């Protein structure tokens, strides 16, 4: 087996040291939206804040290609490195980056063309419609860089440089905070300032890593000349389809949440949901970051044929996800009043609704980590089918069912509890698939 940062036995300590940079990296990525939300809500007002929440899911739909290529490509590249073929790994890495940049550029143009009618279709009108268009246009310009940034979150770990990836992400996150304070609070540019702050920070997060991998470096990967490999590209897209489906589904569900909330609670409902989603993403980023960070070692040992280490990684990760879920739930319940006040403390009625929503939605953290890791584990094994089934069920089928059924019994609280119901149902499915994989020896399921 090739020696390197992905090989050898992972104790709890080594596993945490390896994944913590990815966790912190994802937390800083989530700060983009949170910082924008705080500044927009407090300095621009409730309507621009609601507009950002309404259009942001559409922007995430367009950027989902980055999560697909990042996760699916990382799994294949990690497996290739485990097999000892560094040259092919570089070729795959280079091809995926170039093709995803081209694809994201096309999506950016299409998004600019259809932004206004889509905003209107989502229910925006009047001032909210104009705010959606202004914010969306600026962020669509930086979409190709944002897609690359999403991919590099996985590729830095696969390249054996999680700390360097963390450094780049921290730089981009800090820049976003500073520019928000300057543009929104200082220059009083409002929604436009928040959009430019996010766009510039996304460019930093996408362009700097690209420059690093273009030159000689100390990582396991480098951008080189490549030849198109259609079969490998199809495999990457198929294997990463779970992450693509997860992000598409979450964005679609977010749009439908907004539709339901407009019906049950009006503009206040959308604003409250926006606060919950901003802050919840910080908590969920812990699970996502761990899954991103722990996937390359699984793929590497899969490529090396070490089933014992794969089972060890699964056991340790399950324990860590369950423990983190309990801790994050307690922290979220405790901080709900403070975090809600940071966004909407200026409006007592909206604040009260937001605290209630935050507390009910936070209960889902108890099981979310197991579900996110379970899907990522199968992606790391290059088993995109099972991973896609888990992601599709969790983020779309179960969510939509709960979103439209629970309010009939519980009213507005049913909307806030839909996430918990979805996660519980998905956990049952995840445990079943993981148990089945263990009984059959994990490797067989992927062959």
Q: What is the pLDDT of residues 155-189, one digit of tens each?
A: 998 898 988 988 898 888 889 889 999 999 899 99
Longest dimension (CA), the chain: 62
Helices (H) and strands (E) in the chain, counts: 16, 0
Residue 166 lies in a domain: yes
pLDDT confidence of residue 135: 95
Residue 1: pLDDT band (50, 70, 90) is: very low
In this predicted structure, the answer to whether residue 436 has a pLDDT above a threshold of 90 is: no
pTM surpassing 0.75? no
- Please give the Cα distance from 170 to 396 (Å, whole number): 31
pLDDT given for residue 130 in this prediction: 95
> Above pLDDT 90, what percent of the chain?
45
Residue 3 lies in a domain: no
User: With 80 as the cut, is the pLDDT of residue 437 above it?
Assistant: no
Tokens of 357: 């929503």
Give pLDDT, residue 438.
67
Residue 308 banded pLDDT, cuts 50, 70, 90: confident
Which stretches of 305-446 are DSSP H helices?
Answer: 307-344, 348-362, 365-380, 384-392, 398-410, 412-440
pLDDT at 441 over 60: no
Q: Is the pLDDT reported for residue 257 higher than 80?
A: yes
d(CA 379, CA 71): 7
* Band of residue 230 on the pLDDT scale cut at 50, 70, 90: very high
Please check whether residue 398 lies inside any domain of the structure: yes
In a domain, 351, yes or no: yes
Distance, in Å, from the CA atom of 332 to the CA atom of 105, rounded to the nearest integer, reads: 38
As for how many domains the chain has, the answer is 1
Flag whether 7 is in a domain.
Answer: no
Dig out the tokens for 185 from the structure: 């609070």
- Centre a 10 Å sphere on the Cβ of residue 129 and count the other Cβ atoms it contains: 18
List the domain range (segments joined by +) for residue 51.
Answer: 12-446
Q: How confident is the model at residue 442 (pLDDT cuts 50, 70, 90)?
A: very low
Mean pLDDT score, 189-211: 93
Q: Which of 436, 447, 321 is nearest to 381 (CA)?
A: 447
Is 4 within the bounds of a domain? no
For residues 60-69, give the mean pLDDT.
89
Indicate the average pLDDT of the chain: 87
Q: Is the pLDDT of residue 56 over 90?
A: no
Q: What's the mean pLDDT in 261-268?
A: 83
Rounded distance between C-alpha atoms, residue 215 and residue 238, angstroms: 30
What number is the average pLDDT over the span 192-210? Answer: 93
Asked if the structure places residue 381 within a domain, the reply is yes
* Mean pLDDT of the 238-255 span: 77
Selected residue with higher pLDDT from 344 and 93: 93
DSSP state letter for 4: S
According to the per-residue pLDDT averaged within each range, which of 25-39, 99-113, 281-295, 370-384 is highest?
A: 99-113
Within a domain: residue 361?
A: yes
Query: So what's the pLDDT on residue 447?
Result: 38
Q: Return phi, psi of residue 65, to 5°.
A: -60, -30
| Residue 344 pLDDT exceeds 80 | yes
CB 184 within 8 A of CB 194: yes
Rg (CA), the chain: 21
């Amino acid at each position: 087996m090739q020696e390197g940062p992905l090989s050898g036995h992972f104790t709890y300590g080594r596993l945490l040291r390896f994944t913590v940079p990815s966790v912190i990296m994802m937390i800083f990525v989530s700060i983009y939206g949170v910082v924008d939300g705080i500044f927009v809500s407090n300095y621009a007002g409730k309507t621009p804040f609601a507009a950002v929440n309404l259009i942001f899911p559409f922007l995430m739909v367009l950027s989902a290609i980055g999560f697909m290529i990042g996760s699916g490509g990382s799994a294949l590249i990690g497996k290739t490195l485990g097999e000892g073929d560094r040259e092919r790994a570089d070729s795959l890495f280079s091809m995926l980056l170039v093709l995803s940049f081209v694809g994201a550029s096309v999506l950016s143009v299409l998004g600019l063309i259809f932004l206004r009618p889509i905003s209107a279709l989502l229910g925006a009108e009047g001032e909210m419609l104009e705010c959606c268009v202004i914010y969306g246009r600026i962020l669509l310009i930086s979409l190709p860089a944002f897609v690359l940034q999403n991919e590099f979150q996985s590729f830095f770990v696969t390249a054996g440089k999680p700390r360097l990836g963390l450094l780049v992400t921290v730089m981009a996150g800090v820049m976003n905070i500073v520019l928000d304070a300057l543009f929104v609070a200082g220059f009083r540019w409002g929604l436009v300032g928040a959009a430019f702050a996010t766009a510039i920070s996304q460019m930093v997060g996408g362009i700097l890593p690209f420059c690093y991998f273009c030159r000689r470096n100390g990582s396991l990967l480098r951008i080189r000349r490549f030849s198109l490999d259609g079969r490998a590209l199809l495999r990457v897209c198929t294997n990463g389809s779970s992450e693509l489906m997860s992000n598409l589904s979450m964005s679609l569900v977010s749009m439908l949440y907004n539709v339901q909330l407009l019906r049950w609670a009006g503009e206040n409902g959308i604003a409250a949901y926006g606060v919950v989603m901003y802050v919840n993403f910080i908590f969920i980023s812990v699970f996502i970051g761990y899954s991103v960070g722990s996937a390359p070692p699984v793929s590497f040992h899969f490529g090396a044929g070490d089933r014992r280490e794969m089972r060890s990684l699964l056991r340790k990760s399950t324990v860590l996800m369950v423990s983190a879920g309990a801790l994050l739930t307690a922290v979220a319940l405790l901080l709900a009043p403070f975090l809600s006040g940071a966004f909407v403390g200026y409006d007592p009625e909206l604040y009260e609704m937001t605290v209630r929503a935050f507390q009910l939605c936070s209960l889902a953290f108890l099981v979310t980590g197991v579900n996110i890791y379970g899907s990522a584990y199968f992606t790391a094994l290059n088993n995109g089918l099972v991973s896609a089934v888990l992601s599709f069920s969790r983020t779309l089928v179960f969510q939509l069912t709960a979103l439209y059924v629970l309010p009939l019994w519980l009213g507005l609280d049913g909307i806030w509890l839909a996430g918990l119901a979805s996660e519980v149902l998905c956990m049952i499915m995840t445990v079943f698939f993981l148990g089945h994989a263990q009984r059959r020896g994990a490797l067989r399921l992927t062959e």
